[in-house]
Amino acid sequence: MDTSSIIIMTLVVFGLVGFYAIGLYFNKKTPLPEECELPSLKCEHCTSVTCSYSEKNRVSIIKKDIKESLKNNKSREGALNE
């Protein structure tokens, strides 16, 4: 195998990994369209447990949100009492 083939091979693989990473980043940044129903409502057909849309993962995210809002509320109450 010559050097140029190795360089092209590396460029192709890393280029495509970069292509995927950029796509993933911009896709995550793009907000969901308005009036779009929660995707998890359609998850009844899917058995994936690792998908970010799955009910279990969504529950953990909601729990995190609740904990954060409770913390914020406590700190606000503390500030008001003072």
Partner 1 sequence: MSIANLIVLVIQGMLIQNVILTLFLGICPFMGVSKKSQSAIGMGLAVIFVMVLSSTITFAINDLILEPRELGYLQTIVFILVISGVVQFVEMFVKKTAPYIYKMLGIYLPLITTNCAILGLALIIVKPELEYGYAEMLAYTIGTALGFTLVIYIFSTIRERLENANVPKAFKGAPIALITAGIMSIIFIGFAGLV
The footprint of partner 1 (CB under 8 A) covers 4-5, 8-9, 12-13, 16-17, 19-20, 23-24, 26-27, 30-37, 39, 42-48, 51, 53
Instruction: Specify the DSSP class assigned to residue 34.
Output: T
In the complex, what is the shortest distance from the CB of residue 69 to partner 1, in angstroms, rounded to a whole number? 27
Name the residue nearer to partner 1 (CB basis): 9 or 61. 9
Q: What H or E segment, with its residue span, contains residue 7?
A: helix 3-29
Looking at beta carbons only, is 26 or 79 nearer to partner 1?
26
Give the CA distances from residue 17 to residues 8, 10, 30, 33, 50, in Å, rounded to whole numbers and listed in that order: 14, 11, 20, 27, 21
